Structure 1
């Protein structure tokens, strides 16, 4: 897998709010210039944390890698550990988008398999997913990094509530809906950490089929069978 070479040398101010229109899987998306800059910083931070360790990486290191001033880094992020949030958020948003395409007649695991075949990730997206998995693994022993990791999962949980409400045919503020959204998000977190440990630390090969089977089992167990399978018409 090839990482993108990101070596911007122009300092970007917080006031730069220009936007571009890009196409992602055929859909036009408005991209905020500041969000793009934060993502570039985040990719460098993830790489540095993985290669050097969190303690050995400074805000100055992240700024130098991104070609920005340290002052700009602190405008974009509250702490060095929070720099990982944009990359983690990409993975969470990608899942929510996939979940919103989930048809009633398929289980989530079957839908994920079909959707990933129809919408294969680019090299950059794969690199971001690998970076997110590495951060999930490292966060187990890094409390400050764990905070950033869990904050993104909290956003993912909120984004999943409408999906659960539609599947269960209940209002979004129903307690069962909220509990299931929390349970599914927690299940994904546990699966990510398990797969990350096995593939990154233990160098074990986990196939897509095995990962999807883990997800299917985790969601059904976490929701007591309420969610994960097809929905009757």
Structure 2
């Protein structure tokens, strides 16, 4: 069963890649479920079996990007600040060419969400999943239970901070043509998380 689920997950991701490309090239209104199915080499019926709407097709690719950041935070050692960890983590976990392409597609979709409510819904659903992924990290670093209100508020704040940085950087790079380095982005994430959590998160954990 796990092999079947993995194949389905990969198939959904491939559909998502095609959908993101078509939405960017043609717009959401100019892209149909039939178009996405044809690009993916699948039947339209299969598309609707995988997704509830054409806009929700972007979720697997967006989730892939979000999951990478959550995974990085799960690797965050107590002894390091967030800035130091992120700087080291991008060296030890280098993105593949496909992952880089996926990140660019995710950034393009992020710039479209302000004018496309259905895409915005899919985008926010992925960030809700991200928030749940942050809870164990926050609980561990604050030495509290995951059900604690402070932990849940911090997880929500971290998610909001990441979303704001994601949208701002995506707009700067994709729309305004500004060069934003990976180091610049990580510095923004570090600052945003520190400010959003009133300094509770960002530094090393005291032994």
TM-score (norm 2): 0.97
Q: Indicate the residue corresponding to 1:25 in structure 2.
A: none
2:101 equivalent among 101, 107, 127: 127
Alignment of 1:130-145 (within 5 A): 130-145=104-119
Alignment of 1:1-233 (within 5 A): 19=3, 32-233=6-207
- How much does 1:109 deviate? 2.1
Between stretches 164-173 and 106-115, larger displacement belongs to: 106-115
Instruction: Provide the alpha-carbon RMSD of the alignment.
Output: 1.2
2:78 is paired with a residue whose SS is coil
Distance 1:204 1:140 in 2: 19
How many residue pairs end up in the alignment?
207
Distance 1:43 1:109 in 2: 30
1:140 is paired with a residue whose SS is coil
| Structure with more of its chain in helix, by fraction | 2
Distance 1:50 1:230 in 2: 40
Q: CA offsets, 1:118-163, max 9 Å, x none?
A: 1100000111111111111111111000000000000000011000
Distance 2:202 2:115 in 1: 31
Distance 2:176 2:159 in 1: 24
Q: CA offsets, 1:3-35, max 9 Å, x none?
A: xxxxxxxxxxxxxx5718xxxxxxxxxx61111
TM-score (norm 1): 0.86
1:32 is paired with a residue whose SS is helix
Distance 1:162 1:41 in 2: 31
